[in-house]
Amino acid sequence: VLCSLHGLPLPSSGYSFHDIANVQIYMYTPRLYLQTMVQEQILSWYYGVWTLRGSSGNIQIFSIHSFYSTFLLLKMAVHGPFVKIHPVVLASIADSYERRNEGASRVIGTLLGTIDKHSVEVTNCFSVPHNESEDEVAVDMEFAKNMYELHKKVSPSEVIIGWYATGYDITEHSVLIHEYYSREAQNPIHLTVDTALQSNRMNIRAYASAQMGVPGKTVGVMFTPLTVKYVYYDTERIGVDLLQRTRASPTRTNGLTSDLAQVASAAGRIQEMLNTVLSYIEDVLSGKVMADNSVGRFLMDLVNKVPKISVEDFESMLNSNINDLLMVTYLANLTQAQIALNEKLVVL
Partner 1 sequence: VLAGRLSTPTPTPHPLSSRAPGPKSSVVLKIIKHYQEEGQGSEVVQGVLLGLVVDDRLEITNCFPFPQHTEDDADFDEVQYQMEMMRSLRHVNIDHLHVGWYQSTYYGSFVSRALLDSQFSYQHAIEESVVLIYDPLKTAQGSLCLKAYRLTPKLMEICKEKDFSPEGLKKANIGYEHMFEEVPIVIKNSHLMNVLMWELEEKSTMADKHELLSLSSSNHLEKSLQLLMDRVDEMSQEIVKYNSYCRNLSKQQQQKHQYLQRRQQENAQRQSRGEPPLPEEDISKMFKPPPPPPRMDTLLIAGQINNYCQNVKEFTSQNLGKLFMAQALQHPSS
Alpha-carbon distance 182 to 172, whole Å?
Answer: 16
Asked if 198 touches partner 1 (CB under 8 A), the answer is: no
Closest CA to 195 of 175, 165, 227: 165
C-alpha 294/C-alpha 204 separation (Å) is 33
| C-alpha span between 153 and 146 (Å, rounded) | 11
Select from 60, 262, 276, 279 the one that contacts partner 1 (CB under 8 A). 262
Q: Return the bridge partners of 46, or none.
A: 49
Rule CB under 8 A: say whether 219 interacts with partner 1: no
Strand partners, 210: 222
Burial label for 79, CB within 10 Å (0-12, 13-18, 19+), is buried
Instruction: Work out whether 134 is an interface residue with partner 1 (CB under 8 A).
Output: no
Is the CB of 12 or the CB of 323 nearer to partner 1?
323
Minimum CB distance to partner 1, residue 196 (Å): 10
Site string for partner 1, 33-72 (x = CB under 8 A): ----------------------------------------
Largest separation between any pair of C-alpha atoms in the chain? 102
Q: CB of residue 328 vs partner 1: minimum separation in angstroms? A: 5
Minimum Å distance from CB 199 to partner 1?
13
Judged by CB under 8 A, does residue 306 bind partner 1?
A: yes
β-pairing, 189-193 vs 159-166, is parallel
Determine, following the binding rule CB under 8 A, whether residue 233 of this chain makes contact with partner 1.
Answer: yes
Which CB sits closer to partner 1, 32 or 266? 266
State yes or no: residue 321 binds partner 1 (CB under 8 A). Answer: yes
Q: How many residues bind partner 1 (CB under 8 A)?
A: 87
User: What's the sign of the alpha-carbon dihedral 180, 186, 187, 191?
Assistant: negative
Q: Is 329 in the site for partner 1 (CB under 8 A)?
A: yes
Query: Using the rule CB under 8 A, is 274 a contact of partner 1?
Result: no
By CB under 8 A, the residues from 138 to 197 that bind partner 1 are 140, 143, 146-147, 150, 153-155, 157, 195, 197
Are the CB atoms for 47 and 62 separated by under 8 Å?
no
> Interface with partner 1 includes 205 (CB under 8 A)?
no
